[in-house]
Amino acid sequence: MRRRSNTDLQREVDNGHQPWRLDPLDVAMDYVYNTLNKQGGEFEFYYYDELVQSVSYTYKKAGEKEFRVVVYKPIKKDNTGIWVIHTGTLIESQIESAIPEGMQIVVNSGMA
């Protein structure tokens, strides 16, 4: 199955399909429930960055590690623009799930 580009998704929404992609919380919930296969839990607004049009939510579920979901508008910055998951969030979630309990990872960017 071919993964659709953000441009394709924006075009679909512009044509009246998948209107839930216009709501940042709906996109965050879709990612957590359908991509990460989580059930239940709670979402809490964390941060809105007006400059880059991104919204962060914290997902919490009893007995599980809390994590952040970041969505942003890649194409249109007005109220007709779709929200998508920030790819850095995907990578962060994959890394965090591999870290043993009680351990941390420190990343060195190599910048002087």
Predicted TM-score (pTM) of this structure? 0.76
Predicted local confidence at residue 67, as pLDDT: 87
Distances (CA, A) of 91 to 20, 53, 58, 71, 106: 24, 20, 16, 14, 15
Distances (CA, A) of 102 to 8, 45, 99: 42, 26, 8
Predicted local confidence at residue 4, as pLDDT: 81
Residues of the chain with pLDDT under 70: 1-2, 87-98, 102-112
Q: Backbone phi, then psi, for 39, in 5-degree steps?
A: -130, 145
